[in-house]
Structure 1
Amino acid sequence: MKILLTGTNGQLGRTLLGLLAPQHEVLAPLRAELDLADPAAIAAYVSAAAPDLIINPAAYTAVDQAEQDVAGAMAINATAPGVLAQQARQLGIGLIHYSTDYVFDGSLRDSAGALLPYPENAATNPLNVYGRSKLAGEEAIIASGCRHLIFRTSWVYSRYGKNFLLTMLRLAAERDALRVVNDQWGAPSSAMTIAATTASIIAMLPSGEAAQAWWDSHGGRYNLTTTGHTSWYGFTAEILAQAEAAGLLSKAAPSLTGIPASEYPVPAVRPVNSCLDTRALCARFGLTLPSWQQALAQCLTD
């Protein structure tokens, strides 16, 4: 299968490339070859490449910067996915796209006030520009009428690039004490978990006349995260414990203090509850997802 894969300089795109390249012909253009801020360039590239599938992990992920760069965030997260979707529709192929927990406002609770994980059909209400831009991208894909899978993820990390895991490991080497937010909740999800799940689903794709029926029954929006949930504080504690046990820390682990988000002000408001319900994905595709602790262990030791 010929796959057009965007964003291979990012942590998810890089991980996807490593998993898919041995089994497929993967086109992985860099920005000089495909500028996702240029709709005409996107259309021309896809038309000339004529792939069998498009996978779009590319995104504007600077959440705080997006508050001042609305146009930049919208160009990459909203307009570009829409153009890719239009091209997919014209070619009669599928598009796999990644979205975010930040399309929700984090207020979902049960009658007792306990946080609930968001199902796919929950009302969206993004609190920041990044979330609004990602939701607009989802809506553009759906409006195009193309065959699509949209995977909403949360708290993505890997051993590549800039992410929470690598930041905490760096700070653990530099400091004797850390203060981490303890009142925001979600499922830390490794890029490998997301990429491996994507690869498993791609392996299910039929060809020929069976393809349309498969996309009709399986296409849509799904939550794709690890299982379980924790706070940033809890995630940090587990990072330090696992890293220390694996001999990855250069000194004793720093002490850890939990703080409310109000003590760590940032330009973009984050949802308190980023937990996503993954039961629909697992049921539809017959998959089992790892716990967030298992995924972390795999990331640290691979």
Structure 2
Amino acid sequence: MKLLLLGATGQLGKEWQSFLAQNETDDIELLSYTSSQLDITHYREVSDELRKQKPDVVVNCAAYTDVDGAEKHRKQAQKINVEAVLYLAELSQQLEFKLVHYSTDYVFPGSQLDKQECPRGYPEDHPADPINWYGKTKWEGEQAIRNTTANHLIIRVSWLCGQFGSNFVKTMLKLAEERDSLQVVDDQWGSPTFTEEVVKKSLALLKKDTKGTYHLCSKGLINWYEFAQTIFTLSEIDITLEAVDSSVFATEAERPSFSKLNTQKLADELGSEPVDWKEGLTSLLKQLDVK
């Protein structure tokens, strides 16, 4: 399998490269491109390279992921998350490669009513209704793929964190070095998705030649305060934590109060349950060499 990876410097792109380097994957030939090497918004360059390389699979880890920044830079977010994705989908149709694309829990509205009606999380076919521009562009990118090529795999993730790049776990550990106390919101509910699990499950789906949309996150439902509390407990870090409402922190983009993803479809497809969030966190802290 010839696999071409876009967005190689992001936390998910780096995880793909690290995982394939550390595991026996002789059946996979990996070609990785950073955004400076191959910018997905430079259509002619992307087209020329894909026609030259003739990949079996293109894994798109490139995205505009700054949720607050997207509110200010709407055209840029639209260009990367929608227009460039549509072009990749068109190339998938023309060149007959499978397009693997990552999306987000933010395509859903995340209301308290949804929390009551979907206690196990949003299923894949739940109506999308994003409440911020980032979520809107990611939803439109998904639709661009579905409407253009059948040979795709869309994987929605939530609260993404791993050993590379910026994420909540690494931010909490860094802040704990600088401060004696922290305020963390307790009115936003979901479940983390660990990048190593994303790569493992993506590969498993690819090997089965699976198509369609799947949800991937950890088992369990928590809020950010509980997540932070457990990070510090497992890391044996003594810090004062205060649970606060989201209103304490002014942000450009509105956040959903509930964004749990239902992973039953993925579990049925692969015959394995998702990792428990505490188990995934413990593994990540070991990777980060934290107690």
- TM-score norm. by structure 1 comes to 0.89
1:256 to 224, 241, 246: 241
Could you give the per-residue CA deviations for residues 1-36 of structure 1, whole angstroms, max 9, x where no partner exists? 111111110111111122235521111112232111
CA separation in 2, counterparts of 1:158 and 1:42? 28
Which deviates further from its counterpart, 274-283 or 25-34? 25-34
Point out 4+ residue stretches in structure 1 off by more than 4 angstroms: 110-116
Matched position secondary structure for 1:151: strand
Report the residue type matching 2:33 in the other structure. P
Alignment-derived partner of residue 77 in structure 2? 73
Could you give the per-residue CA deviations for residues 73-105 of structure 1, whole angstroms, max 9, x where no partner exists? 111111122111111111222111100000001
CA separation in 1, counterparts of 2:118 and 2:60? 34
Superposed, which structure 2 residues align to 1:129-144 within 5 Å?
129-144=133-148
Alignment-derived partner of residue 29 in structure 1? 33
Superposed, which structure 2 residues align to 1:168-247 within 5 Å?
168-205=172-209, 218-244=210-236
Query: How far 1:110 sits from its partner (Å)?
Result: 6.5
Alignment-derived partner of residue 163 in structure 2? 159
Query: How far 1:181 sits from its partner (Å)?
Result: 0.4
Say if 2:269 is the partner of 1:292: no
Alignment-derived partner of residue 90 in structure 2? 86
Matched position secondary structure for 2:272: coil
CA distance 1:127–1:31, change in 2 (3 Å)? same
Report the residue type matching 2:3 in the other structure. I
| Count of aligned positions | 283
CA distance 1:125–1:287, change in 2 (3 Å)? same
Report the residue type matching 2:52 in the other structure. A
CA distance 1:123–1:108, change in 2 (3 Å)? farther
CA separation in 1, counterparts of 2:264 and 2:67? 28
CA separation in 1, counterparts of 2:115 and 2:229? 30
CA separation in 2, counterparts of 1:242 and 1:111? 28
- What are structure 1's unaligned runs of at least 5 residues? 206-217, 245-251
Query: How far 1:108 sits from its partner (Å)?
Result: 6.0
Alignment-derived partner of residue 13 in structure 1? 13
CA distance 1:112–1:281, change in 2 (3 Å)? closer
Q: CA RMSD in A?
A: 1.7
Contact 2:115 2:121 in 1 (8 A): no
CA separation in 2, counterparts of 1:219 and 1:189? 20
Report the residue type matching 1:133 in the other structure. T
CA separation in 2, counterparts of 1:272 and 1:148? 30
CA separation in 1, counterparts of 2:200 and 2:108? 25
Contact 2:131 2:255 in 1 (8 A): yes
Query: How far 1:285 sits from its partner (Å)?
Result: 2.4
Contact 2:114 2:258 in 1 (8 A): no
CA separation in 2, counterparts of 1:77 and 1:231? 27
Contact 1:85 1:146 in 2 (8 A): no
Report the residue type matching 1:288 in the other structure. E
- TM-score norm. by structure 2 comes to 0.92
- What are structure 2's unaligned runs of at least 5 residues? none
1:52 to 34, 49, 56: 56
Alignment-derived partner of residue 210 in structure 1? none
Could you give the per-residue CA deviations for residues 32-60 of structure 1, whole angstroms, max 9, x where no partner exists? 32111222322222122210111112111
CA distance 1:110–1:181, change in 2 (3 Å)? closer
CA distance 1:163–1:74, change in 2 (3 Å)? same
Contact 1:172 1:254 in 2 (8 A): yes
Report the residue type matching 2:101 in the other structure. H
